[in-house]
């Protein structure tokens, strides 16, 4: 791994002078590696000085992002030796409102500056439009610094706070390889004899793009210009063409998914030795990183390399490309449904894509992943045409986003799509669940609750995860309807148990929290307190 000393010095300077640092560059510029090296050095110098959060789509709203930052701070404090700080952060984490959390943070006496790195921040880029987030940057605890690693520019932060020196930016130009870096990289791929002039030409022709530099070094030749660099052809000739045939075929199959484990790689490649081949790719530095060890190891291909391999396969064998994407979709549909839908779209199987959504949409919605869910719904509708069930799911996503008019319009669109057609029982169930979520009318909600309750008695109609989530939703709705508090409590108790048994921890927590409200309504305050204690995260963090 190449030491990016000049990047580290830049980060040191910016963290001293600014409240936040944005590390902004396209994929393949080694952002995470460079910042990770810097963070490791900081931790070694001062344990507890750096926390790390890899952002997911769930952090697209400000309260969830703050929860993640608080978790990273607590992990960082765990590396230090200040027990008082650890207790203070634990107390702040449990507070019921963001205002109280911020007040508590400002009173904590840290022994030194603490930096929280937010990797993949582009997944939460919308939060920068929030006045609360901008205020948090400007007026947060004086000891806190944020480093935001992103492929997408947070315009609000850059246009306002950068002017006042509150935010600094590390650009692709600063991350680009210099000729000296190219020489260091050459030593890592056993080209110690690379001439300084050749290193300068590689740095110039690739624009210093680390990923393209790596490709050029593996090829042993200098590409003429970055704009003319056909990465797909380059990968085919310079990388795959130089592997032994069985390894090259394995790589083409395994790179259909950017993130793979041993099981998925075996399914895609059809090879029993997939684990060994993955390990060989990792140890040979073939654009792949390994996280974890043993059977639990996860491998992530470099996005540029995976995309280039995908293009090679799609151009050379379109049928195999589609078939492998469908294999990936079927394998991932219960573990990573959003990824599965993407692969089903690539494989041109509209039915598989729609079924994956209808099997998992409710859990995704209740796990606060509505933005990503709506995105795949749009992709499916664009690829295969809109259907009633997809329109209804979008209606619920709009409701969760606070767009009441949009929710109603999508639901009316779904009803128009079913008009004149025989409505399947599954579509009817999705419609009734949607009515529970989007309706304010007591009689409409009551009718929908009764219809869903009846449908849940037919387990051939409802998959286990849908059943558990729908059970929670019916219990939650009954607490709003206030028809039978005892019945709603029993529903929520059952929902919490079902969800926890299926690994749906976030939905189980919501069920226990709703159950606590039902207990309070019934005057059973002790049971309410015990119910809240079962939740894995603070109850007002949702």
My answer on whether 388 and 526 are in the same domain is yes
Q: How many CB atoms lie within 10 A of CB 77?
A: 24
Q: How does residue 409 score in pLDDT terms, banded at 50, 70 and 90? A: very high
Query: What distance in Å separates the CA atoms of residue 229 and residue 244, rounded to the nearest whole number?
Result: 24
Q: What is the CATH number of the domain that holds 251?
A: 1.10.10
CB half-sphere exposure, 455, CA atoms < 13 A = 25
Tell me which of 355 and 539 has the higher pLDDT. Answer: 355
Q: Which of 229-243, 298-312, 373-387 has the lowest mean pLDDT?
A: 229-243
pLDDT tens column, 238-258: 678 878 899 999 999 999 999
Counted domains in the chain: 4
Per-residue pLDDT averaged across 283-301, rounded? 80
Highest mean pLDDT among 40-44, 82-86, 168-172, 347-351: 347-351
Burial of 291 (0-12, 13-18, 19+ CB in 10 A): exposed
Answer whether residue 209 shows pLDDT above 90.
no
For the chain, what is the mean pLDDT? 85
Phi, psi of 33 (to 5 degrees): -65, -45
Residue 118 and residue 9 in one domain: yes
Which of these ranges, 164-173, 184-193, 209-218, 497-506, has the smallest mean pLDDT?
184-193
Predicted pLDDT of residue 532:
66
Q: Which residue(s) pair with 288 in the sheet?
A: 301
Question: Does some domain include residue 330?
Answer: no
Rounded CA separation 62/47 (Å): 28
- Alpha helices (H) in 195-302, listed in sequence order: 196-206, 210-219, 231-234, 245-254, 262-269, 274-283
Q: What is the predicted pLDDT for the residue at 192?
A: 64
Decide which of 198, 229, 260 is a domain's last residue: 229
Burial degree of 536 (CB within 10 A; 0-12, 13-18, 19+): exposed
- The per-residue pLDDT for 147 is 96
In the three-class reduction of DSSP (H, G, I as helix; E, B as strand; rest coil), residue 398 is classed as helix
Q: Could you give the angle at the alpha carbon of 303 between the alpha carbons of 262 and 380, nearest 5°? A: 85
**Weakest-pLDDT range from 138-142, 246-250, 405-409:** 138-142
Q: Are residues 154 and 265 in the same domain?
A: no
Domain span holding position 70: 5-175
Residue 509, pLDDT > 90, answer no
Residue 325 lies in a domain: no
Give yes or no: residues 312 and 379 share one domain.
no
> d(Cα 465, Cα 467) in Å, to the nearest integer?
5
Closest by Cα among 146, 151, 165 to 20: 146
Domain identity same for 193 and 256: no
State residue 290's pLDDT score: 84
Report the Cα 200 to chain-centroid distance in Å. Answer: 37
Question: CA quadruple 150, 151, 156, 161: dihedral positive or negative?
Answer: positive
pLDDT tens-digit map of 59-89: 667 888 888 888 888 888 877 777 788 888 8
- Residue 186 and residue 211 in one domain: yes
Range with top average pLDDT, 15-29, 203-217, 521-535: 15-29
48 & 121 share domain = yes
**Per-residue b/e over 228-259, b at no fewer than 16 CB within 10 Å?**
ebebbebbbebbbeebeeeebbbbbbbbbbbe
Which is more confident, 505 or 338? Answer: 338
Highest mean pLDDT among 84-88, 319-323, 505-509: 319-323
């Amino acid at each position: 791994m190449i030491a990016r000393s000049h990047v580290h010095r830049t980060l040191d300077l910016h963290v001293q002078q600014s409240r936040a640092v944005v590390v902004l560059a396209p994929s393949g510029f080694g952002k995470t590696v460079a910042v990770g090296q810097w963070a490791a050095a900081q931790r070694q110098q001062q344990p507890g000085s750096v926390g790390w959060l890899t952002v997911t789509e769930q952090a697209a709203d400000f309260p969830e992002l703050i929860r993640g930052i608080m978790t990273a701070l607590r992990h960082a404090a765990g590396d230090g030796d200040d027990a008082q700080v650890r207790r203070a952060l634990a107390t702040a984490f449990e507070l019921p409102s963001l205002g109280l959390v911020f007040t508590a943070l400002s009173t904590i006496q840290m022994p030194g500056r603490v930096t929280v790195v937010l990797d993949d921040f582009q997944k939460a880029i919308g939060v920068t439009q929030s006045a609360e987030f901008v205020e948090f940057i400007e007026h947060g605890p004086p000891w806190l610094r944020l480093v935001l690693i992103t492929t997408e520019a947070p315009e609000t932060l850059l246009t306002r706070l950068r002017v006042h020196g509150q935010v600094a930016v590390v650009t692709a130009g600063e991350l680009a390889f210099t000729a000296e870096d190219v020489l260091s990289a050459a030593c890592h791929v056993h080209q110690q004899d690379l001439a300084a002039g050749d290193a300068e030409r590689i740095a110039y022709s690739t624009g210093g793009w680390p990923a393209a530099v790596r490709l050029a070094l593996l090829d042993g030749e200098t590409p003429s210009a970055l704009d003319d660099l056909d990465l797909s052809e380059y990968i085919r000739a310079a990388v795959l063409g130089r592997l032994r045939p069985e390894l090259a075929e394995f790589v083409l199959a395994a790179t259909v998914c950017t993130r793979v484990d041993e099981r998925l790689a075996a399914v895609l490649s059809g090879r029993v030795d997939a684990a060994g081949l993955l390990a060989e790719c990792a140890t040979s530095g073939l654009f792949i990183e390994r996280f974890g060890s043993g059977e639990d190891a996860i491998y992530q291909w470099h996005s540029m390399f995976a995309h280039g391999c995908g293009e090679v396969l799609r151009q050379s064998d379109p049928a195999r490309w589609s078939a492998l994407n469908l294999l990936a979709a079927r394998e991932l549909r219960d573990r990573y449904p959003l990824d599965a839908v993407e692969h089903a779209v690539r494989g041109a199987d509209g039915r598989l894509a729609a079924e994956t959504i209808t099997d998992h949409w409710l859990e995704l919605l209740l796990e606060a992943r509505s933005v990503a869910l709506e995105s795949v719904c749009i992709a499916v509708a664009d690829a295969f045409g809109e259907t009633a069930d997809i329109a209804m799911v979008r209606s619920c996503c709009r409701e969760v986003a606070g767009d009441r008019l949009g929710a109603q319009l999508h639901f009316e669109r779904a009803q128009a799509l079913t008009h004149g057609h025989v409505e399947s029982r599954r579509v009817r169930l999705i419609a009734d669940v949607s009515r529970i979520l989007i309706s304010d009318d007591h009689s409409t909600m009551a009718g929908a609750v009764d219809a869903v309750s009846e449908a849940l008695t037919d387990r051939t109609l409802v998959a286990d995860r849908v059943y558990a989530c729908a059970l929670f939703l019916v219990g939650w709705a009954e607490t709003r309807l206030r028809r039978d508090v005892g019945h709603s409590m029993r529903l929520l108790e059952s929902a919490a148990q079902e969800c926890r048994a299926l690994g749906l921890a976030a939905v189980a927590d919501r069920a226990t929290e709703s159950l606590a409200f039902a207990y309070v309504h019934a005057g059973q305050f002790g049971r309410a307190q015990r119910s809240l204690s079962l939740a894995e995260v603070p109850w007002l963090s949702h």
